[in-house]
Structure 1
């Protein structure tokens, strides 16, 4: 758990050994397996581990279970049809509870010992991001005892969500104190406290949305990410096996061609040539479709596939060095839109937030400039009449409020491409009349959760018994 940043730590330990007065000092210490590290290295390691959590199975299974892509062969062909076992989740469970959480505990202890509240606060946000993702995916999880005892108890979600939100409030207080310094060891914002506070509030809004406390979600989002530049992204580069976009590596190397987008619900919504195309006289999705997908894939020639192009003229959503969205301005604005409508703040306020988002898209939004320049996009503001019976967003004669909600939910769905929060929304609204309605890839049931890690089931006698199946809904999405 203390070796996430092992190569750098090993160098420091080696230098320390060379400086010793006696050559025999610490003779039995293995410099390649250090048992401790300075706070800043553990802090960075915690952030890197959380990137692995967000871009691992959380993203990849959401890709094929939420209509963003289609599993064709190899592992993803099997998993696409929901044939998956507990052992397939061992690495991702470990990334949460050993990679992120245990290192976060250590980093917070070290930061607090140094009086560095800024570092402690940022680490708490990263810790909650990882654990919040875990409970969204698995349901009940260890929390207060996680990383501290060998057999931690699993806490139910009714108790856990308030604790995660309270932890974010602690983090915000730490950052607002102005005590401590953080610089380049922060791979996301180089210690910018304002940006981290906004991220914490958007995460609070996410968790309030999960538990359908829409008033609280709106209040948190009002303090959330205020500009695209303040979004939390995982940074990536072009060095293989070091810093490439995780999904790029999967789609082009590890499991090349195993995931396409043939018949995928999201691709059909965005494809102007599809009968399901969501465009209308005020909406042209051509640029976003091309940014997300290749109509003639390079890894699966002749079919639509996720876009991994990485050239000067075409950089897809999953380009080699494309940064990956974790907590974003996009999410925050669309949370304001949905939460405003659901909490009774009124049709006009909700529509105003949706139009703020559409204006962001109309200016290019998060779509790579190579597609803004080479394909058409258009997102004119909607007016109330568009959602009235017979309007361009209400051709089936439902209420204007339901028509607006349906459009907001669909916009959230297409925006959250490749992220597990798209699956969060689908499960949260699965039993409602309007929203994104998916058909099972196999059988007559949609998956509702991840299966608990086999290693955890084998080693922790406090693991849930009987063990929930893939199709047993978690509490918050029942």
Structure 2
């Protein structure tokens, strides 16, 4: 993790056309090609965009292939789909995480502390926690306390994954305290997500806390945090996108539909078979019609009257914008995640009634169209999500045909709903690994061999340059600590 120059981050993001308007010509005698400093707000924007690269880029594509959402079909993605992966393929992910997010948010915090701007500090800490939480979930042990401080820690220590999760909770507690303080000036449009809205950032922080507690299997704490998390879809943390080529497009769209056409499709994926009403493994029932969601998530072709999924839906027309359309928003920390985390955590700790009540809250949301793009709420495609009752989960009920207990049947349905909802997101991969050894849940068939992947591979550049890196480097089939317990 070599120290990134500010010109690298600021210049990259300015070229991307995604920064707010901030004057760079206050002193005409300054060489604008070699800036030595930048405002906290400008750096904050860069850090937020760095986090988008972590959450929506290569890591998400790999997670999607290893979770039954996508199929790798050409070039290195065909190999990655079959679990043939090296650390070199994650060099950029590591760079985005530590140079693009951690280093930049540390600068933001440092600069904001000098002016007692706790609002901006809080925002920066939530972004940092999002990136480092994703890294810990995917890689296991990672640098945390010594990260991005090459002067004092040229070989930052890799801290145990479970310890990192604890420090993430502390970081988010600090962020919440900052956001509740009422101190500081809003970054305004420099905050590309919430324009400095402290309450929305606090909601996102609590939902992240619930995510991390779920990943460490501390389910009671996850339920408590979720109660304070994102309460409506309008308050979700997402990355909005546009239609300008190479500037503000959805990153999934840019890769699948434009820059690397043919590398990824959905031909062998599990998720479309669960959503397709024509499939033998369709998850719909008398109270559930997934037709609209199926068509929103996947592009299909008709063969002898049967809809066959061929690709994640990157349609981008005015009448049909798919889940991965050019201007489609990408979810980061959302209402959907929060309510489903609450449903699972309550089902595991409080009991059947509490879990079912939260699941029905989410189904009520789906019944209004949920996360469907507006072009799929026009009536062309049907959707229906009526509330479930206890009888539906009893032995012989519509959700329990195999003799499970009612509690098991409910948990299975919640986990299935999470799986479908998180199509194309890293947290779907996290869920599968967390619940793999349980009796119920989503069960994948390996795309190659007999074992399923348990982690991403450490960056080759990091392993070669940091003497503190794990030796030997754990392979893709070695469970991380939270999933081994």
Q: TM-score if structure 2 supplies the norm length? A: 0.93
Question: In the superposition, relative to structure 1, how do residues 444 and 368 fare at CA in structure 2: closer, same or farther (>3 Å)?
Answer: same
Question: In the superposition, relative to structure 1, how do residues 347 and 324 fare at CA in structure 2: closer, same or farther (>3 Å)?
Answer: same
Question: In the superposition, relative to structure 1, how do residues 275 and 8 fare at CA in structure 2: closer, same or farther (>3 Å)?
Answer: closer
CA distance in 2 between counterparts of 1:111 and 1:406 reads 46
Query: Counterpart in 2 of 1:100?
Result: 101
2:367 is the alignment partner of 1:395: no
Query: Counterpart in 2 of 1:367?
Result: 372
Query: Counterpart in 2 of 1:23?
Result: none
3-state secondary structure, aligned to 2:238: strand
Query: Counterpart in 2 of 1:31?
Result: 32
2:455 is the alignment partner of 1:435: no
2:276 is the alignment partner of 1:271: yes
Shift of 1:14: 5.8
Shift of 1:8: 7.8
Question: In the superposition, relative to structure 1, how do residues 12 and 231 fare at CA in structure 2: closer, same or farther (>3 Å)?
Answer: closer
Query: Counterpart in 2 of 1:221?
Result: 226
Query: Counterpart in 1 of 2:123?
Result: 122
Question: In the superposition, relative to structure 1, how do residues 213 and 390 fare at CA in structure 2: closer, same or farther (>3 Å)?
Answer: same
Shift of 1:35: 2.6
Query: Counterpart in 1 of 2:42?
Result: 41
Q: Do the aligned partners of 1:6 and 1:34 also contact (CA within 8 Å) in 2?
A: no
Q: Do the aligned partners of 2:393 and 2:399 also contact (CA within 8 Å) in 1?
A: yes
1:250-307 deviation per Cα after TM superposition (whole angstroms, max 9, x unaligned): 011221122111131100000000000000000000000000001139xxx9852110
3-state secondary structure, aligned to 1:304: strand
2:158 is the alignment partner of 1:154: yes
Question: Pick from 309, 316, 330: which aligns with 1:310?
Answer: 316
Question: In the superposition, relative to structure 1, how do residues 390 and 303 fare at CA in structure 2: closer, same or farther (>3 Å)?
Answer: closer
CA distance in 2 between counterparts of 1:364 and 1:140 reads 39
Unaligned 5+ segments in structure 1 are 21-25
Matches within 5 A, 1:349-360: 349-360=354-365
Query: Counterpart in 2 of 1:72?
Result: 73
CA distance in 1 between counterparts of 2:23 and 2:173 reads 36
1:403-443 deviation per Cα after TM superposition (whole angstroms, max 9, x unaligned): 00000000000000000000000000011110010011101
Q: Do the aligned partners of 1:296 and 1:305 also contact (CA within 8 Å) in 2?
A: no
Query: Counterpart in 2 of 1:203?
Result: 208
2:194 is the alignment partner of 1:189: yes
Question: In the superposition, relative to structure 1, how do residues 401 and 242 fare at CA in structure 2: closer, same or farther (>3 Å)?
Answer: same
1:300-359 deviation per Cα after TM superposition (whole angstroms, max 9, x unaligned): x9852110111111010001011100000000000111000111x121111000000000
3-state secondary structure, aligned to 1:257: coil
Matches within 5 A, 1:315-334: 315-334=321-340
CA distance in 2 between counterparts of 1:101 and 1:278 reads 41
Q: Do the aligned partners of 2:13 and 2:49 also contact (CA within 8 Å) in 1?
A: no
Question: Pick from 446, 455, 464: which aligns with 1:449?
Answer: 455
Further displaced range: 134-143 or 51-60: 51-60
Further displaced range: 452-461 or 32-41: 32-41
CA distance in 2 between counterparts of 1:14 and 1:180 reads 23
2:384 is the alignment partner of 1:378: yes
2:339 is the alignment partner of 1:338: no
Shift of 1:115: 1.3
Q: Do the aligned partners of 1:13 and 1:34 also contact (CA within 8 Å) in 2?
A: no
Further displaced range: 404-413 or 62-71: 62-71
2:183 is the alignment partner of 1:179: yes
Q: TM-score if structure 1 supplies the norm length? A: 0.95
Structure 1 runs, 4 residues or longer, greater than 3 Å off: 7-14
Shift of 1:16: 3.8
Q: Do the aligned partners of 1:9 and 1:37 also contact (CA within 8 Å) in 2?
A: no
Q: Do the aligned partners of 1:218 and 1:335 also contact (CA within 8 Å) in 2?
A: yes
3-state secondary structure, aligned to 1:31: coil
Q: Do the aligned partners of 1:71 and 1:77 also contact (CA within 8 Å) in 2?
A: yes
Query: Counterpart in 1 of 2:86?
Result: 85
Query: Counterpart in 2 of 1:132?
Result: 133
CA distance in 2 between counterparts of 1:180 and 1:303 reads 50
